[in-house]
């Protein structure tokens, strides 16, 4: 069965303490419960969560939606975005099935990155490594006024920003992510198109700004 792998790469640095981190916890729960009601997503989507603060770690390996269990999400210290990008590439190489002569592999993964600050490590090196991964669409979200969208624009063209990192805007972001995954899983399921051709996401709600 070909899967649509989805990687959520989430900043849990110290500045996310309090309401923002609680909003991320609720956002992940909302995402899973929404996708479990979608027959296309249930059929194709698999989800992994990568968290980063002083270091990056894969909190949930790539898992089918029905078996997915939300990880413990706690706010830590600094913002190792470079390490998170490097780890994402490692996980994609390990977990995403490649196409062989005998069988079609998984679709190209969708990657959603969310951060509320400036990277504190060598993010350019991490980005060089990440670019070697075969990904589909990569979407980066700068949460709140301190997020560095210039860095995010270097990672991907598809950048959105949130004016605040509170529960309503972060909740809106996760709702939009779940709609994007639903749209993408329906498209690959119905058209069997390669997920690198998935470049139309649903329009973001008013709380989410497109960064041009």
Sign of CA dihedral 133, 77, 71, 180: negative
**pLDDT tens for residues 156-205?**
999 999 999 999 999 999 999 999 999 999 888 776 655 444 567 898 99
Place of tokens 């929404």: 34
Residue 88's pLDDT is what? 98
In angstroms, how far is CA 43 from the centroid of its own chain?
Answer: 19
CATH number, domain of 200, equals 3.40.50.410
Number of structural domains in the chain: 1
> Phi then psi for 209, rounded to 5 degrees?
-100, 135
Mean per-residue pLDDT, 22-28 = 96
The model's pTM: 0.94
Residue 193's pLDDT is what? 56
**pLDDT tens for residues 154-163?**
999 999 999 9
Q: How many residues does the chain have?
A: 212
Dist CA 108 CA 96 (whole Å) = 8
Q: Which residues pair with 116 in a beta bridge?
A: none
Residue 70: give the domain boundaries. Answer: 4-211
**pLDDT tens for residues 50-88?**
999 999 999 999 999 999 999 999 999 999 999 999 999
Residue 195's pLDDT is what? 45
Enter the DSSP assignment of 104: -
Dist CA 148 CA 16 (whole Å) = 15
């Amino acid at each position: 069965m070909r899967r649509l792998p989805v990687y959520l790469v989430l900043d849990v640095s110290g500045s996310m303490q309090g309401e923002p981190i609680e909003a991320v916890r609720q956002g992940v729960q909302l995402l899973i419960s929404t996708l479990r009601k979608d027959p296309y997503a249930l059929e194709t989507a698999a989800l992994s969560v990568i968290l980063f603060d002083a270091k990056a770690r894969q909190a949930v390996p790539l898992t089918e939606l029905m078996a997915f269990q939300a990880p413990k999400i706690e706010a830590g210290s600094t913002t190792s975005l470079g390490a998170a990008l490097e780890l994402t590439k490692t996980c994609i190489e390990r977990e995403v099935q490649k196409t062989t002569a005998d069988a079609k592999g998984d679709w190209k993964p969708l990657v959603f990155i969310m951060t509320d600050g400036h990277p504190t490590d060598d993010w350019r090196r991490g980005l060089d490594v990440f670019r070697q991964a075969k990904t589909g669409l990569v979407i980066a979200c700068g949460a709140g006024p301190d997020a560095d969208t210039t860095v995010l624009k270097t990672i991907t063209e598809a950048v959105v920003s949130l004016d605040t990192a509170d529960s309503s805007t972060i909740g809106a972001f996760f709702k939009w992510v779940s709609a994007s995954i639903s749209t993408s899983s329906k498209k690959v399921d119905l058209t069997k198109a390669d997920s690198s051709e998935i470049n139309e996401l649903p329009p973001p709600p008013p709380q989410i700004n497109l960064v041009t």
